[in-house]
A and B are shown apart, each in its own frame.
Chain A
Amino acid sequence: MSISIGKRILLGFVAVTVVIVALGLYAIGQIGVVRDTTDAIVSRDLAMARQFDDLANKARDMGLMRRNAVIAVLTRKTDAQEINRALDGWRGAAGDADGIFTSLNRSAESYAENATSPARAAIWKRLAQNIADTAAQFRQLRTASEAQISAITARDADAVEARNEEINRQQEAVLRGIDRGRDVLDEGIVAGQRAVQGVYESSRLSILGTLAACALLSILVTILISRAVVRPLSIVMDFVERVGSGDLSGALPARGNDEIARLSRTLNAMVGGLAELARTNRAATADLNAAAAEIRASAQEQAASVEEQFAAVQETAATVDEITHSGAQITKRAGEVIATAKATAQTSRQGLRAVADTAKAMDAIREQAEAVAGNIVTLSEKTQAIGDIIETVNDISERTHLLALNAAIEAAAAGESGRSFAVVAAEMKQLADQAKAATVQVRGILGEIQRGINTSVMLTEEAVKRAATGKTRSDTTQRTIEEISARVEENVQTFQQIVASTNQQQLGIEQVMGALQNIRQASQQTAAGTREVEAASANLTELAQALMALAERYRH
């Protein structure tokens, strides 16, 4: 069914309301009918009863007047005026009674035509008949009475007496007819009451039936609404209770397009969001727990460091106190240093003179070393010349060797006669070999001499360089000592400034002491704050663990 629940409920209420409104309108109509009927009965019957009463009164009045006139005649009254007045009254009453009869008859007939019920119509007809009969009797009575009245007028007492019996009897008949008419009218009233009762009964029955139908309709509508709303709602309620108890794992079936389906979809989305939220919440709570633990550890560290800071401030205060004492000593020592520096300046001037002498001596050493180097170079050149000579000797000895060999060959070629020559050649060769060996030795010695010369040259050059370096260093020393003198002078001024600065420092240290006092107070406040932070972080940790337990409730 694609009709939404709201429309279904609205439809049911509209149906019930329509039935109730129709019932009300019908009831109002029936009440109107009853009232009209009652009105009609009351107005008609009361008017009719009043006319009957008037008629009876008139009849009695007529009888009374007639009897009075009869009595007056019979008693020989002579007052004609009184008799005439009674007769005129009788006549007037007779005319009125006749009019009333006519009126009654007309009313009864008209009522019989548009009566509220057949019974009433019959009653009205009987009444009309009764009225007609009574009117006929009344007319007979009137005729008889007219005759008696004529007798009365003629003062004929006998005639009056003769007719009196007959007239009385007729009058009684008329009165009885009127009473019968009253009885019929009473029956009509009873019939009217019955008709009203019938209308009331039929109206009550129909209203009761309609009420029962309305109740049935309401029950039907309620059942339909219950089927359409309450059962799905109970499913949703169960689901919501499960969600409330922490089970976020389920989902509602969401078919159709009515409110329950929309509610199911919305709830599914909400539960999905809740599950996501629970996951996020659990992760965030874990993070929060870790962060709270970190905060607590940090707070504890901070507390420790604040205590260290406090101790450090105490130490600093002690140190500053020492600085105050040492400042006084600095002032005293600075005065001593000034005196020492002046003595140092004097000493450095003496040092300057000594360094100048040293520089001159270094120059002399350098000149001498250069002269030695020149001599050694000359010696080296001589040694080179000796080497050349040795080369020449070597060459000569080589040639002599060959010459001796060739001489030996020639001596061999000469045979026996060359034998002595061969001996000479052998001696020559031996000499040449010895000369060659000697040149080799000399060459070795010369090499050693050359190496020694080279070493000496290098050493001399090194000596020259060192002398030059010494000279440079002496110059540097001289400049340094001059700078030292200048610095010492500066130092004297500086120490004088130091004395002044130390005095200012004492003032500054007093301010530092004040500041340290402030720092100490601040440290105490910080320690108190840190303890509060620690307590708060402990609370936070408990809270985070409670949150963790809370988050554990949700399964997803």
Chain B
Amino acid sequence: MSARGAEERSAERARILRAERTAALARRGAAQAARPATRYLVCACGPERYGLSIAVAAQVLPIQVLPMRPCTPVPGAVPALIGLAALSGRMVGVLGLARALGRGIGDPGPDGHLVALKGTAQPVALAVDRVLGVASVDDEVVEPPSAAGGMGGEAVSGYCPAGAEGAALGDFLVLDLARLLRRALP
């Protein structure tokens, strides 16, 4: 009796998933045709969420799956640099996003995530509390930084309010990586 009930519930769930997927696929085609959009990796850092253009991300990986010594502190380094880590055989500098933004809320714990960046002068990874997901937002929706209230300072280039199309993960601040790195790694 209960086995049959579970079987019925899984069948129902699969049906709902398929229907949602179909609807999403149908929306995608229509939206893309209408306006240009940018995809962001939405990261949680303390109580705030920050959006990072997916184009600069190379890889997302958990902090705890790094080798034995996940982060080696570097004496005399800039304040934003947590330390050095070996990533895929390369030495990568790990920047704390909270440190880089000047937010005094501490480094991410062992269940945090690292976002390896590409296109930078030296190999860099950003340590965040969690990468929540990918948000595809129209460029028109993103408000200029003057309206963002300066949360994160000059490294913030815009604000995506909640309720905007594609911002299902809630509102977030859009980070300008180049400015962030200039500020963190002078």
> Of A60-68, A210-218, A402-410, which stretch is located at the interface?
A402-410
For residue B60, CB closer than 8 A to chain A, the reply is yes
B61 — nearest CB in chain A belongs to which residue? A402
What string of 1s and 0s marks CB contacts (under 8 Å) between B55-73 and chain A? 1011111100000000000
B54 touches A408 (CB 8 A): yes
Residues in A with CB closer than 8 Å to B55 are: 412-413
Q: Which A residue's beta carbon lies closest to that of B28?
A: A423
| B134→A408 contact, CB < 8 A | yes
Task: Enumerate A38-66 residues with CB–CB distance to B below 8 Å.
Answer: none
Given contacts A402-B113, A426-B134, contact A409 B24 (CB under 8 A): no
Bitwise, A417-440 to B at CB < 8 A (1) or not (0) is 000001101110101010000000
Tell whether B21 is near chain A: CB-to-CB under 8 Å.
Answer: yes
Q: Report whether B24 and A405 are in contact in the complex, using a CB–CB cutoff of 8 Å.
A: no
B 1-39 contacts with A by CB, 8 A: 17, 21, 24-25, 28, 39
Residues of A near B133 (CB, < 8 A) are: 405, 429, 433
B28 engages A412 (CB within 8 Å): no
Whether A405 contacts B131 in the complex (CB less than 8 A), given A412-B39, A423-B28, comes out as yes
Scan residues 216-247 of chain A and give those whose CB is less than 8 A from a CB of chain B: none
A489 interface hit (Cβ, 8 Å): no
Interface residue? B41 (CB, 8 A)? yes
Q: Which residues of A contact B57 (CB under 8 A)?
A: 409
**How far apart are the CA atoms of A497 and B179 in the complex, in Å?**
112
**A179 interface residue, CB < 8 Å from B?**
no
Cβ contact within 8 Å between B59 and A423: no
From A406, A409, A413, A431, name the one whose CB has the most chain B CB atoms within 10 angstroms: A409
Contact status A409-B28, CB under 8 Å: no
User: With A398-B62, A412-B55, A427-B21 as given contacts, are A405 and B134 in contact (CB-CB < 8 Å)?
Assistant: yes
| Residues on the A chain within 8 Å of B59, using CB | 406, 409
Query: How far is B113's CA from A398's CA once the two chains are assembled, in angstroms?
Result: 11
A96 to chain B, nearest CB (A): 201
CB pair B60 A406 closer than 8 Å: yes
Contact B25 A409 (CB under 8 A): no
**Chain A residues within an 8 Å CB radius of B24:** 423, 426
- Considering the complex, which residues of chain A in the window 377-393 have a beta carbon less than 8 Å from any beta carbon of chain B? none
When distances are taken between beta carbons in the complex, the residues of chain A under 8 Å from B28 are 423
In the assembled complex, the Cα of A423 lies from the Cα of B24 at a distance in Å of 9
What residues on A are CB-neighbors of B62 within 8 Å? 398, 402
CB distance from A189 to the nearest CB of B (A): 182
Q: What CA separation (Å) do A387 and B131 show in the bound complex?
A: 26
- A425 to chain B: closest CB distance in Å? 8
Interfacial chain B residues near A406, Cβ < 8 Å: 59-61
B54:A409 contact, CB within 8 angstroms: yes
Whole-angstrom CA separation of A413 from B54 in the bound complex: 8
Q: Which residues of B contact A412 (CB under 8 A)?
A: 39, 54-55
Label chain A's interface by main secondary structure.
helix
CB distance from B174 to the nearest CB of A (A): 16
Q: Given the complex, which residues of B lie within 8 Å of A423, measured CB to CB?
A: 24-25, 28
Give, as a whole number of angstroms, the nearest-CB distance from B70 to chain A: 16
List which B127-141 residues lie within 8 A (CB) of chain A: 131, 133-134
Tell me how far the C-beta of B15 lies from the nearest C-beta in chain A, rounded to whole angstroms.
15
- In the complex, which residues of chain B have a beta carbon less than 8 angstroms from the beta carbon of A425? 134
User: In the complex where A423-B28, A429-B133 touch, is A402 in contact with B54 (Cβ < 8 A)?
Assistant: no
Contacts of A409 in B (CB 8 A): 41, 54, 57-60
Query: A93 to nearest B CB, angstroms?
Result: 205
CB contacts (< 8 Å) of B39 on chain A: these are 408, 412, 422
Measured CA separation A409–B39 after assembly (Å): 10
Q: How far is the CA of A433 from the CA of B134 in the complex (A)?
A: 13
Inter-chain CA distance A427–B22, complex, in Å, is 11
Q: Report A290 CB to chain B, min CB distance, Å.
A: 89
CB distance from A395 to the nearest CB of B (A): 10
Residues of A within 8 A of B60 (CB): 402, 405-406, 409
Contact partners of A398 in chain B: CB under 8 A: 62
A423 to B29, CA, bound (A): 12
Are B25 and A405 within 8 A (Cβ)?
no
- Which residues of A sit under 8 angstroms from B113, Cβ to Cβ? 402
Instruction: Tell me the complex Cα distance, A234–B87, Å.
Output: 142
Interchain CA distance A426-B99 in the complex, whole Å: 30
Shortest Cβ gap from B74 to chain A (Å)? 27
CB of A456, distance to nearest CB on chain B (Å): 22
Q: 1/0 contact trace for B84-117 toward A, CB 8 Å?
A: 0000000000000000000000000000010000
Q: How far is the CB of A251 from chain B (nearest CB, A)?
A: 104
**Residues on B with beta carbons closer than 8 Å to the beta carbon of A426:** 24, 134
Chain B residues within 8 Å of A413, by CB: 55
Which residues from B are CB-within-8-Å of A427? 17, 21
Q: B25: nearest residue on chain A (CB-CB)? A: A423
Q: Kindly provide the distance from the CB of B131 to the nearest chain A CB, expressed in whole angstroms.
A: 6
* A5 CB to nearest chain B CB (Å): 124
- Taking the closest CB of chain B, its distance from the CB of A432, in whole angstroms, is 10
Contacts of A402 in B (CB 8 A): 60-62, 113, 131
Find chain A residues with CB under 8 A from B17 CB: 427, 431
Residues of B within 8 A of A433 (CB): 133
Residues of B within 8 A of A408 (CB): 39, 54, 134
Q: Mark A463-479, 1 if CB is under 8 A from B, else 0.
A: 00000000000000000
Q: Which residues of B from 113 to 167 have beta carbons under 8 Å from A? A: 113, 131, 133-134
Most buried by B among A402, A405, A412, A433: A405
Chain B residues closer than 8 Å to A422, beta-carbon distance: 39, 134
Interface centre among B17, B54, B62 (most CB of A within 10 A): B54
Q: How far is the CA of A433 from the CA of B130 in the complex (A)?
A: 13
Q: How far is the CA of A405 from the CA of B59 in the complex (A)?
A: 8
Minimum CB–CB distance for A123 against chain B, Å: 184
Taken together as a complex, chains A and B put the C-alpha atoms of A427 and B20 apart, in Å, by: 10
**Cα distance A398–B28 when bound, in Å?**
26
Most buried by A among B24, B25, B41, B134: B134
CB contacts under 8 Å to B, within A89-127, are none
Q: A405-B60, A406-B60, A429-B134 are in contact. List 6 more A-B contacts (CB 8 A).
A: A398-B62, A408-B39, A408-B54, A409-B54, A413-B55, A431-B17
Please give the residue numbers on chain B whose beta carbons come within 8 Å of chain A beta carbons, in ascending order. Answer: 17, 21, 24-25, 28, 39, 41, 54-55, 57-62, 113, 131, 133-134
Instruction: Please name 6 pairs of A and B residues whose Cβ atoms are closer than 8 Å in the assembled complex, sorted by A.
Output: A405-B60, A405-B131, A405-B133, A409-B58, A412-B55, A425-B134
In order of increasing CB-CB distance, the 10 nearest A-B pairs are: A405-B60, A412-B54, A408-B134, A409-B57, A402-B60, A406-B60, A405-B131, A412-B39, A406-B59, A409-B54
Interface residues of A (CB under 8 A from B): 398, 402, 405-406, 408-409, 412-413, 422-423, 425-427, 429, 431, 433
